[in-house]
């Protein structure tokens, strides 16, 4: 090997490797003072391809010195004048073997590099957050005029149309609680947390007769409504004046095969928009007690029936009676801006009614016929005998002289109320009794009508006229 001096760094020599015709240099160090101790940082002087790039040893030394200053500037400022380049390598009089005059200790710079990387990551994250924070966001209600897709991105507290969209979507998905939370407070305050079948203590019978009954704003009722005719294709149009304290919002949707174009009144309550979304429906002419009547599966016997508040949707009355049948075509509640439907179902007798009613009437008839009193429990007879005669107790005998007492074969008809029925009969009864003097008295009369009141199935009342 031959030696050559480096003109950039006085006192530094290179060893020439004849075999490779390139210069190799031992590691150099830069020392700097920190907290009273001396540390050394190796400097690698490029060789081979790196040397060919034109980077001088002084450039690398200056760069490394600058890096050390930067890494140490937070705690221990570095004076560039106190960081001389210490030649390490073959020195005259020592020989060709490289001698390290200063051994590098555990480099603090390596410990600080991860801190710098972490700081850079934090800064970049803050920049990205700041950019995202100030990117203009879409108005949640600006795209409410859409199909019945989930409206989870809408914020009903900030837009009237958003409130209507969220309300209708909650109904369409069977979420009664979600819809209730968007109602005006006057409605929400009257809504029980459970259905009347689950909470008898909260029966609407405790509410005033003229107060709308809201026990049918439940998931169960909505589930039946959506089963009968789901609400789809919801489109809500933003009002002309956005974010006003009150607004009338136009909406359209399909309830089964019926298309609806309607409006909803919305009011700002506090910081949230609330919807006037229920419809009071009068059931006073439709309700039949003791027939196990239900509305979308909810029993009505314990609820008020004058006014029942309902969500927009489809509803169906049903009864459970062996005697009475009811036309149970579903009816539609369109919306609060439209006229409430008039509920007037038609009642009729079942095919089993003649046998049931006729059989019960025959039993009562036979019991009355068998009574021996002057006036029996069916109202046949008289209170006293004429002319001051005294009736002899137990002497009255009644017999049929004409007609039939087979009341299962007569033509029974439902009455003015679905809880009673009547039939025309032709029966003549002869009564024969005695007074206390042994004289015999006779009376005869026809029976032309039999009527049964089955309002209480366990205590039906029969009358003969």
- Residue 371 resides in a domain: yes
One domain, residues 339 and 357:
no
Q: Write down the pLDDT at residue 31.
A: 41
**How many structural domains are present in the chain?**
3
What crossing angle do the helices spanning 57-72 and 108-133 adopt, rounded to 10°?
A: 70
282-294: per-residue pLDDT in tens? 998 888 888 889 9
Listed residue (296, 229, 224, 227) closest to 260, CA to CA: 229
Q: What digits encode the pLDDT tens for the residues 157-213?
A: 579 999 999 999 999 999 999 999 999 886 554 554 444 433 333 333 333 333 445
Max avg pLDDT among 17-21, 199-203, 380-384: 380-384
**Residues 366 and 457 grouped into a single domain:** yes
Is 136 within the bounds of a domain? no
Q: Which domain holds residue 211?
A: 160-344
329 with 364, same domain: the answer is: no
Question: What is the phi-psi region of residue 11: left when phi exceeds 0, alpha when psi lies from -120 to 50, beta otherwise?
Answer: left
Q: Which of 447, 427, 434 is nearest to 380 (CA)?
A: 447
Share the mean pLDDT of the chain.
Answer: 73
When pLDDT is cut at 50, 70 and 90, the band that residue 242 belongs to is confident
State yes or no: pLDDT of 132 exceeds 50: no
Helix (H) or strand (E) holding 434: strand 420-434
Is 169 inside any structural domain? yes
Q: Are residues 324 and 217 in the same domain?
A: yes
Do both 361 and 339 map to the same domain? no
- Using the predicted structure, report yes or no on whether residue 397 has a pLDDT greater than 70: yes
Side-by-side strand order, sheet with 298-299: 298-299, 294-295, 317-318
- Compute the Cα dihedral for 252, 253, 257, 262 and give only its sign: negative
Instruction: Flag whether 115 is in a domain.
Output: no
């Amino acid at each position: 090997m031959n030696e050559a001096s480096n003109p950039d760094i006085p006192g530094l020599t290179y060893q020439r490797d004849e075999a490779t015709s390139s210069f190799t240099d031992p590691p150099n160090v830069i020392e700097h003072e920190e907290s009273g101790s001396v540390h050394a940082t190796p400097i690698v002087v490029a060789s081979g391809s790196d040397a060919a790039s034109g980077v001088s040893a002084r450039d690398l030394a200056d760069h490394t010195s600058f890096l050390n200053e930067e890494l140490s500037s937070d705690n221990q400022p570095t004076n560039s004048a106190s960081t001389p380049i210490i030649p390490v390598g073959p020195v005259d009089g020592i020989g060709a073997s490289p001698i390290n005059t200063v051994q590098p200790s555990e480099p603090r710079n390596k410990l600080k590099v991860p801190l710098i990387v972490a700081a850079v990551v934090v800064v970049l994250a803050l920049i990205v957050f700041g950019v995202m924070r100030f990117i203009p966001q879409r108005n949640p209600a600006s795209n409410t005029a859409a199909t019945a897709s989930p409206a989870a991105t809408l914020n009903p507290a900030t837009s009237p149309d958003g409130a209507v969209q969220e309300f209708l979507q909650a109904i369409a998905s069977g979420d009664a609680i979600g819809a209730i939370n968007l109602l005006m407070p006057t409605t929400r305050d009257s809504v029980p947390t459970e259905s009347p079948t689950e909470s008898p203590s909260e029966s609407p019978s405790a509410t005033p007769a003229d107060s709308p009954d809201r026990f049918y704003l439940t998931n169960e009722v909505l589930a039946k409504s959506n089963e009968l005719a789901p609400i789809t294709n919801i489109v809500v149009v933003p009002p002309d004046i956005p974010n006003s304290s009150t607004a009338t919002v136009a909406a359209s949707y399909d309830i089964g095969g019926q298309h609806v174009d309607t409006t909803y009144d919305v009011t700002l309550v506090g910081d949230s928009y609330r919807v006037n979304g229920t419809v009071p429906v009068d059931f006073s002419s439709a309700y039949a007690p003791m027939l196990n009547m239900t509305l979308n599966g909810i029993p009505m016997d314990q609820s008020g029936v004058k006014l029942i508040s309902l969500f927009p949707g489809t509803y169906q009355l049903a009864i459970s009676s062996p005697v009475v049948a009811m036309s149970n075509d579903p009816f539609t509640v369109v919306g609060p801006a439209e006229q409430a439907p008039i509920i007037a179902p038609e009642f009729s007798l079942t095919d089993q009614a003649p046998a049931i009613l006729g059989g019960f009437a025959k039993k009562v008839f036979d019991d009355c016929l068998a009574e021996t009193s002057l006036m029996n429990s069916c109202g046949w007879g008289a209170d006293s005998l004429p002319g001051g005669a005294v009736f002899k107790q137990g002497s009255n005998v009644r017999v049929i002289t004409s007609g039939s007492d087979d009341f299962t074969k007569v033509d029974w008809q439902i009455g003015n109320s679905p809880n009673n029925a009547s039939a025309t009969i032709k029966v003549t009864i002869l009564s024969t009794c005695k007074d206390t003097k042994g004289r015999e008295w006779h009376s005869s009369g026809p029976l032309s009508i039999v009527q049964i009141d089955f309002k209480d199935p366990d205590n039906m009342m029969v009358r003969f006229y």
